[in-house]
Structure 1
C-alpha cells in the first residue's frame, strides 16, 4: 500500500482501518503520530479549538496502534500582535 504524504490522523472509517491493517499485517509498529497541531501553519492567536479537536480525533487512533506519542509542533507568533517571551 502506498501511503504517500497524507495526514493519517485525518483518516476515518474504512480508510483508517485499511491503513491500520496494512501496518499491523506488515509487522510494522508506529512510534509516534505526526499531527497537524500547531505545525507552524497556525498562529498562536488563532482558534485553539481546532487543535483540541484534532487531538481528540488522534487519541483513539494512537491507542489503537498502541502508540505513546503524538507529535505537536510550535505555533507561530502573531505578526501583528506578538506575544512576549514571558507570555
Structure 2
C-alpha cells in the first residue's frame, strides 16, 4: 500500500481489540468514535470507514426487509443497522 512501511503490525488484545495504526488513521482522516466496516474475503480482512452511503443503504435495506417480513406475517426482522451511527 502506498505511503505505508512494508511491514506494520498490530496486536490483537485479549478483548479482541486491534489498534489502527497512526499512519492509517491519518491517511483516512479517522477520529475517535468513527466506525469501521470489516470485510472478510479469501482469508484476508479489508477495513474501511463507514460512509454516509453505507448507512443509507443499510437503513433502506432494513426497512425493506421489515416491510417484506410484516407482509409475510413474520413480524419485524432483528434490528442490526441501528447500531451503526454516523460519526461524520
Q: TM-score scaled to structure 2, two decimals?
A: 0.28
Query: Which protein is richer in strand relative to its size?
Result: 2
Pick 1 or 2: higher relative contact order, CA cutoff 8 A, min separation 6.
1
Computing the radius of gyration over CA atoms, which structure comes out larger, 1 or 2? Answer: 2
